[in-house]
Amino acid sequence: MGTAEETAGGEAQAWGEVTPDAARRLLIAAVEAFAERGYHATTTRDIAGRAGMSPAALYIHYKTKEELLHRISRIGHTKALEILRTASRREGSARERLADAVGSFVRWHAGGRTTARVVQYELDSLGPDARAEILALRRQCDDEVHGVIEDGVASGEFDVLDVKGTTLAVLSLCIDVARWFNVDGPWTPDEVGALYADLVLRMVGAGEPAPAQK
């Protein structure tokens, strides 16, 4: 599966809010181009060509190439925050919530690796105002994971000396999946999500869940 097919097919719902259709096609083409060539090496002509449109048509919907990257980043980070917030604030123990957060976050990075690479690794290509907005969303993502780990320490479920450092390690582990995951490789996104959830629980000293009381 090529990056264009993966992005358009596997992540179509992620771009459902982008209208009209021409704007969505351009955004999907930009995701593909940025992931393949990098932001700085991609031209607006590259993006328009991939979308089957003229360069002039692009400017009807996006004033600049950076506006495209900003919108991709904002939508991606908003989705990432939604995933982490849903898991971290569900009912259940800290152990269950952390496993859910990590598993869901990893599945998103694996299943949508093309988009995730752009969202996570092109931050420095944004201008100061756009970058500040995305950094604020990133801090909210950090806070969700930090809060679950803190809850686990307070309840005695986790054995963590440095909650802030552990939060950084957990998020870095999850995000890196977008860099190496291969849809033609030996694992599915679900399998990688389950593996990483288990690894993170071991990292925080959660051990095995207590057996149910009879």
pLDDT digit string (tens) for 52-108? 999 899 999 999 999 999 999 999 999 999 999 999 999 999 999 999 999 999 999
Amino acid 18: pLDDT: 86
Query: Hunting for tokens 């105002």 — which residue is that?
Result: 129
Residue 14's pLDDT band, with cuts at 50, 70 and 90, is: low
Least confident interval from 15-29, 82-96, 141-155: 15-29
Characterize 20-57 residue by residue with b for buried, 16 or more Cβ atoms within 10 angstroms of its Cβ, and e for exposed. eebbbbbbbbbbbbbbbeebeebebebbbebbebeeee
207: left (phi over 0), alpha (psi -120 to 50) or beta: left
pLDDT digit string (tens) for 43-54? 999 999 999 999
111 neighbors 10 (Cβ within 8 angstroms): yes
Amino acid 33: pLDDT: 95
pLDDT digit string (tens) for 151-206? 999 999 999 999 999 999 999 999 999 999 998 889 999 999 999 999 999 999 99
- Read off the tokens for 128: 């100061």
